[in-house]
């Protein structure tokens, strides 16, 4: 897609269009920012799945609502496009170290309120998996869904050439999950999850919460599953100069305030083990070294200790 093509789309929908910035993508799927007011997502393939996911959050505040969805013929090729609202601001990760304690408290409270509103959107079936539904439309219990998910992970890793260290951790993970799987018996029913809710998908402006982007991974599950990525970035930040524990504690405390989820620390440990082992499967074993120490840390009960410490502060 060239700039003239994007201007043609804007003209068609009577949108002012001064500055066009290509955000990311390739010819098959590209994203353009229009004057920091709109986003235009284009693809050679229909984006019905993405449209459907965006339609589910249409009544939420602080999300990119769909303005138009249509097609455009460019040099004889049909291009599908979505025009979305632009969430103004900067990713929270980039701004975090510039925030005051009061800013962090206010943003954490706003994030918790947002999650509560999001989780008020109910579903009928569970989608089980990180980022993508490995087991979509599961109409039985949250526990049985994760039993199936664990079988998928365990068998998937058995098909990969693993080091002896990871083989041992896989068997320890198997013991931990089968010993503690009853913690997933508690369920409130499927609610809509962002499912990739981390510090780069949360946008802030003027040191305040602005919105949440990137809804491609959204699916239905239990609400505590949506805390995994905030927790992950709190425990294992991508850079050493950032410590997001304070914000995670605010969100976690407020989310748990009115929800008596038994053994939540074991639930989160299971979700984290599943997450890290799935990353190894997707990398075909190439990221094993990255996750070995994390998995050992989880299996040694350190996440349970961490949550006990921060909730007592």
For residues 114 and 224, state if they share a domain: yes
For residues 13 and 97, state if they share a domain: no
Where on the phi/psi map is residue 30: left (φ > 0), alpha (ψ -120 to 50), or beta? Answer: beta
The domain that holds 298 is classified in CATH as 3.90.1200.10
Out of 36, 60, 85, a domain closes at 85
For residues 129 and 57, state if they share a domain: no
The helix or strand, by DSSP H or E, that contains position 32, with its residue range, turns out to be: strand 29-34
For residues 81 and 118, state if they share a domain: no
For residues 101 and 72, state if they share a domain: no
Domain extent at residue 156: 90-312
For residues 10 and 144, state if they share a domain: no
For residues 127 and 61, state if they share a domain: no
Out of 34, 63, 85, a domain closes at 85
Q: In what order do the strands lie in the sheet with 77-85?
A: 20-26, 29-34, 38-43, 77-85, 66-74
Out of 51, 85, 119, a domain closes at 85
Q: What is the mean pLDDT of the chain?
A: 95
260/23 Cα distance (integer angstroms): 42
pLDDT over 80 (residue 27): no
**Which of these, 210, 244, 246, 251, lies nearest to 227 by C-alpha position?**
251
Number of domains in the chain: 2
For residues 45 and 157, state if they share a domain: no
For residues 96 and 229, state if they share a domain: yes
DSSP 38: E
116/259 Cα distance (integer angstroms): 11
pLDDT over 70 (residue 113): yes
The domain that holds 64 is classified in CATH as 3.30.200.20
Query: Quick check: 170 and 291 in contact, CB under 8 A?
Result: no
pLDDT digits (tens, 9 = 90+) for 82-96: 999 999 999 999 999
- Name the residue with higher pLDDT: 69 or 258: 69
pLDDT digits (tens, 9 = 90+) for 35-88: 999 999 999 999 999 999 999 999 999 999 999 999 999 989 999 999 999 999
DSSP 239: S
Three-class SS state of 18: coil
For residues 26 and 163, state if they share a domain: no
pLDDT band at 26 (very low <50, low <70, confident <90, very high): low
pLDDT band at 313 (very low <50, low <70, confident <90, very high): confident
Lowest-confidence region among 120-129, 148-157, 233-242: 233-242
For residues 19 and 94, state if they share a domain: no
**pLDDT confidence of residue 58:** 95
pLDDT digits (tens, 9 = 90+) for 192-221: 999 999 999 999 999 999 999 999 999 999
pLDDT over 90 (residue 151): yes
pLDDT over 90 (residue 97): yes
Where on the phi/psi map is residue 38: left (φ > 0), alpha (ψ -120 to 50), or beta? Answer: beta
pLDDT over 60 (residue 101): yes
**pLDDT confidence of residue 292:** 94
pLDDT over 80 (residue 28): no
Sign of the four-CA dihedral 174, 180, 185, 189: negative
For residues 75 and 210, state if they share a domain: no
């Amino acid at each position: 897609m060239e700039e003239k093509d994007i201007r043609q789309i804007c003209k068609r929908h009577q949108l002012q269009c001064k500055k066009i910035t290509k955000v990311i993508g390739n010819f098959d799927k590209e994203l353009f920012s229009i004057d920091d007011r709109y986003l235009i997502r284009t693809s050679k393939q229909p984006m019905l799945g993405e449209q459907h996911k965006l339609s589910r959050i249409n009544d939420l505040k602080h999300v990119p609502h769909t303005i138009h969805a249509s097609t455009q013929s460019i040099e004889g090729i049909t291009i599908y496009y979505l025009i979305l609202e632009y969430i103004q601001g900067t990713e929270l990760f980039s701004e975090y170290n510039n925030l005051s304690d009061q800013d962090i408290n206010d943003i954490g409270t706003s994030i918790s309120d947002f999650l509560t509103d999001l989780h008020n959107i109910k579903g009928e079936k569970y989608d089980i998996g990180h980022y993508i539904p490995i087991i979509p439309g599961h109409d039985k219990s949250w526990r049985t869904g994760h039993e199936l998910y664990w079988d998928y992970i365990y068998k998937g890793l058995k098909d990969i050439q693993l080091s002896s260290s990871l083989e041992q951790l896989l068997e320890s993970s198997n013991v931990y999950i089968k010993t503690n799987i009853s913690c997933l018996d508690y369920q409130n029913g499927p609610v809509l999850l962002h499912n990739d809710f981390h510090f780069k998908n949360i946008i802030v402006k003027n040191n305040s919460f602005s919105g949440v982007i990137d809804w491609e991974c959204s699916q239905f599950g239990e609400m505590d599953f949506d805390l995994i990525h905030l927790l992950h970035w709190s425990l294992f930040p991508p850079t050493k100069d950032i410590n997001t524990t304070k914000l995670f504690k605010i969100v976690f405390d407020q989310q748990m305030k009115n929800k008596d989820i038994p053994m939540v620390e074991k639930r989160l440990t299971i979700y984290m083990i599943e997450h890290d082992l799935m990353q190894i499967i997707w990398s075909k074993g190439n990221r094993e070294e990255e996750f070995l120490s994390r998995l050992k840390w989880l299996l040694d009960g350190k996440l349970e200790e961490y949550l006990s410490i921060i909730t007592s502060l």
